[in-house]
Structure 1
Amino acid sequence: MFIDAHQHYWDPARGDYGWLTPQLAALYRSFGPADLAPLCAAWNVSRTVVVQAAPTVEETRWLLELARGEASIAGVVGWVPLDDPHAATLIAELAREPKLRGVRPMLQDLPDDAWIATANTAHAVDALIAHDLAFDALVFTRHVDALAAWLARHPALRVVIDHGAKPPIAASAHDVVDPAWAQAIAQLARFPQVHCKLSGLATEAAPGWTEATLAPWVAHLLASFGPQRLMWGSDWPVLNLNGDYARWHACANRLLATLTARERNDVFGGNAMRFYRLNMG
C-alpha cells in the first residue's frame, strides 16, 4: 500500500497562514482532497499524511475535522505550543482524535535557531511519548546542532526530518553536495529514533531540475538513513512551485531503482505506516 507521507491541505480564507500570500500565485487558493485525489489515483497512492501549514491549534482542529470524513487521510501532523505550560493537557485532548499522529513546531520559522534545545518542552515531549505521537522536524542545516542536543535528551521520541533538512541544492555546483548539509544529515542519522522524509527536494532546487540534479542528494540521504528510515512524500501542493506530483514521483522511483522491491515498498509506504502508527483499515 503506497502512502504519501507529507502533503498539505489549506484554505487561505481561514486567515492563519502567515507565509501564504497572493504573491505565491500557484498556491494561493484552497487545496483539498478532491484536488489531490486524481494525482494519488494515477500513482496508486491510497493514503496520505496531512501536515500542518499554520502554527495554530485552530488549523490542527480543522485538519482533524477534515480527516474524520476523508478515508484517504491516514494521519494528521498538527501543531501545538510545545513550550506552553498547558501543552501536555492540550496534547492529551487532541490525541483523542485517532488520526492525530504527530506534531510539528515549524522550527525553520522561529527567530531563535536554538529554540528546540533551550525551550522548556520536556513536559510536552513526555505527553507525546505517552500518547504514542511522533515529531516532525522542519529544519535547515543551521538548526541541526540544537536539534541533536534535544534528540539526545529524548531517545524515546520518534522524530522525522522533513524534506531532507532542506538542502541548498539551487546554490550548489552540479553534482556537488554541500558538505555542511552532508555532515548535518550524518549527525542526525546517528540517532536511531530519527527517520527522514524524501520530500521537498524539488522545491530547494533551481528551476529546470532533473533527475541528475537531485541524484547526489538522494544518494546521501539513502546512504545515511538506509531504506528502512526513509519515507517518500510529495510536499504537495508546495511542490507546484517548482515541479508536479507525477514528475517528482517518477523521479524518486528512478533514483531508488537499485533498491529491492521490498525496500522500495518501505520507502513508498511501509516506513510511514510503521513510523506514524497508521491505521490502514
Structure 2
Amino acid sequence: MRIDAHQHYWQPARGDYDWMPMDNATLARPYHPRDLEATLRKHGIDRTVLVQAAATVEETEYMLGIADASETVAAVVGWVDFEQPAHRAHLERLRHHPKFAGVRPMIQDIPDVDWMLRDDVQWGFEALVDLDLTFDALGFPQHLKNFHTILTRYTELRTVIDHCMKPQIRDHSEHTYSHWADGMRALAEDTRAVCKFSGLVTECDGWTLEALRPYAEHLFEVFGPDRLMWGSDWPVCQLEASYTDWIEAAEALTSGLPESDRSAIFGGTAQAFYRI
C-alpha cells in the first residue's frame, strides 16, 4: 500500500482558515478529493491522511465528512483547543469515528514559542495518551527543544513530526543546519516520534535536489525508514512544486535505499502509525 501521509482538502468560504492569504491564487480556492484523484492514480497512491488546516472543531467535522465519502482518505488528523479542557469531550466522541486518528494543534502559528509548556495545556497531551490518539507536531526549528521536553515527558504519546520540523533551507548556513540537525537527532534518539518526509520544497526558494539532499540524508540516518513517512503536503506544496515534482524528487532522494526501506517510507510507516 502506498500512502500519502499528509495532504489537505479545504473550502476557504468556510471562513476559519485564518492563516491563509486570501489574495493567494494557489491557496485561496477550494480543494476537494476530485481535484486529486487523477494524480493519486498516476502515482499509485492508494490512501491518504487528511490533515486539518483550520483551528476549529468544525474543521475536524468537515474533514470527517469528506472521509466518509472518500475511499482514498484513510485517516483524519483534526484539531481541538488545548486551552479548553472541556474539549476532551470532543476527543472522547471523535475517537469512535473509524477514520479519526488524532489531532494537530497549530503550534507554528502560536506567537508564544513556549506555549506547549504551559500548565493549562498539559491536559491535551495527557488525553491523547489516555485515549490512544495521535499527535502531529507542527513547528519550526525554534520549537525543537520544547518538543523534546514534551515528548520525553509523555513517553507513550504517539507522535509524528510534521514536515521535518521545517528546516530553514532557504537561509541555509552551517549554524541553521546544525541547530536543526542536532535537534532532530535528539528527538530521534530520545523519543519514540516518527517523522513526515514532507514540506521540504516549501522551505527552499528555487529548490533543487542537491539543496534538499543533506536534509533528507540526515533524516534517513537518524530516524531510519521505519520512522519516516512520505507526505505531499498538497496543495501547499504547489507554492513551490507540483505533486508530481515533489513525489519524483522524494523518489530520487530515496533511490539509493533498499526497496524495503522505500516501501516503509512510501507506505509502511504511515500504515503502522495511523493504523490504516
**Considering the TM-score relative to the shorter chain, is it more than 0.5?**
yes
How many residues get paired?
A: 276
What is the Cα deviation at residue 163 of structure 1? 0.4
Is 1:19 the counterpart of 2:23? The answer is no
For the 8 Å contact 1:177–1:216, the answer to whether it is kept is no
- Which aligned runs of 4 or more in structure 1 are off by greater than 6 angstroms? none
Q: Which has the higher helix share?
A: 2
2:205 alignment counterpart: 206
Q: Look up the SS of the partner of 2:221 in the other structure.
A: helix
For the 8 Å contact 1:133–1:276, the answer to whether it is kept is no
CA RMSD of aligned residues (A): 1.5
What is the Cα deviation at residue 42 of structure 1? 0.7
The one-letter amino acid of 2:250's match is A
1:180 alignment counterpart: 179
1:161 alignment counterpart: 161
What is the Cα deviation at residue 143 of structure 1? 0.8
How many angstroms apart in 1 are the aligned matches of 2:47 and 2:65? 17
- Any residues of structure 2 matched to 1:56-67 within 5 Å, and which? 56-67=56-67
Which of these residues, 236, 258, 263, is aligned with residue 265 of structure 1?
Answer: 263
CA deviation string 1:122-181 (max 9, x = no partner): 4333332233211001111111111111111100111111000000111115x9971111
| Structure 2: unaligned runs, 5 residues or longer | none
How many angstroms apart in 1 are the aligned matches of 2:75 and 2:260? 23
Q: Look up the SS of the partner of 1:91 in the other structure.
A: helix
CA 1:122–1:22: 2 relative to 1, 3 Å = closer
For the 8 Å contact 2:152–2:191, the answer to whether it is kept is no
Q: Look up the SS of the partner of 2:120 in the other structure.
A: coil
| Structure 1: unaligned runs, 5 residues or longer | none
How many angstroms apart in 2 are the aligned matches of 1:145 and 1:177? 14
For the 8 Å contact 2:51–2:77, the answer to whether it is kept is yes
The one-letter amino acid of 2:39's match is L
1:35 alignment counterpart: 35
For the 8 Å contact 2:151–2:191, the answer to whether it is kept is no
How many angstroms apart in 2 are the aligned matches of 1:123 and 1:112? 18
CA 1:48–1:88: 2 relative to 1, 3 Å = same
The one-letter amino acid of 1:25's match is A
The one-letter amino acid of 1:243's match is A
The one-letter amino acid of 1:108's match is Q
The one-letter amino acid of 1:205's match is C
- Any residues of structure 2 matched to 1:219-258 within 5 Å, and which? 219-258=217-256
The TM-score normalised by the length of structure 2 is: 0.96
What is the Cα deviation at residue 242 of structure 1? 0.3
How many angstroms apart in 1 are the aligned matches of 2:172 and 2:128? 37
How many angstroms apart in 1 are the aligned matches of 2:37 and 2:176? 35
